Amino acid sequence: MGGDTGCGPRPDRVLVVDDEANITDLVRMSLRFHGFDVVTATCGQEAVAAVAEAKPDLMVLDVLLSDIDGFEVCRRLRDVGTDVPVIFLTARDRHADKIAGLTCGGDDYVTKPFSVDELVARVRAVLRRTRRDRPSAAAQTLAFADVVLNEDTHEVARAGHPIDLSPTEFKLLRYLLANPRRVLSRVQILDAVWNYDFDGAYTVVDQYVSYLRRKLAPYGPPLIHTQRGFGYMLREPGGRPGGPGETPGVEGL
């Protein structure tokens, strides 16, 4: 693992993980040219250790590594609550691989061969989005009905019962809590939670809504309702749609 040191405020630090030296060197030099601090790793185990040691602001993570693949690296990080943004960089361009990148907690997906300028733009875009999502001092909690989400501690409770959520489930619930009584399309949810816009990924939204519903269900009636043909809405049990952005025909699940 290698990196830069220096005085003054630290620039954004990017961890580049790839077992191809030519790719690592190209990405490292390009990011440094654009003002980023860069550390590197050449395998999955080294990447996990580097996240704990270097505390990067973002990872550019190859999928095909020599020990464990990048998807598994991302899963392990998410399982222990590490929410460092991840951009997958890989030769895999199948739709199924992009879905896999979404479901394991990735933030973006760039395929090889790639444009260096595009990769730098993606890094900046993901950093902007993740900083926008960070809580402000004045708004550390979101609440609706009997659900409370603490953005500072990442704790969630319903009717006083703690709810254990994955980082992606947490992002989804936060987006719903920030937009109560509004119909949110799958496209809106996909863009807000995953920052993805390619066709066919909407099943990921349905999958994670299902996960979230199951975790909230033991402690009260349904709050997340399906708007047939449109998307999802967070509303009170027994409440009727009809506010701004809402139309009839909602199913509660």
The whole-angstrom separation of Cα 64 and Cα 214 is: 33
| pLDDT for the residue 250 | 38
| pLDDT for the residue 248 | 37
Compute φ and ψ for 210, nearest 5 degrees.
Answer: -60, -45
Amino acid at 82: T
| pLDDT for the residue 132 | 62
| pLDDT for the residue 242 | 46
13-132 and 141-234 share one fold: no
Q: What is the CATH code for 141-234? A: 1.10.10.10
For domain 13-132, give the fold: Rossmann fold (3.40.50)
The whole-angstrom separation of Cα 17 and Cα 38 is: 11
| pLDDT for the residue 83 | 85
Give the CA distances from residue 140 to residues 29, 57, 160, 170, 174, in Å, rounded to whole numbers and listed in that order.
38, 21, 18, 14, 11
Ranges of residues in the chain whose predicted pLDDT is under 70: 1-9, 93, 132-139, 195-201, 238-253
The whole-angstrom separation of Cα 186 and Cα 102 is: 14
| pLDDT for the residue 148 | 93
Cβ neighbour number for residue 36 with a 10 Å cutoff: 22
- Where in the chain are the domains? 13-132, 141-234
Give residue-wise pLDDT tens across range 134-183: 554 445 788 999 999 998 788 899 999 999 988 888 889 999 998 999 99
| pLDDT for the residue 50 | 94
The whole-angstrom separation of Cα 61 and Cα 18 is: 7
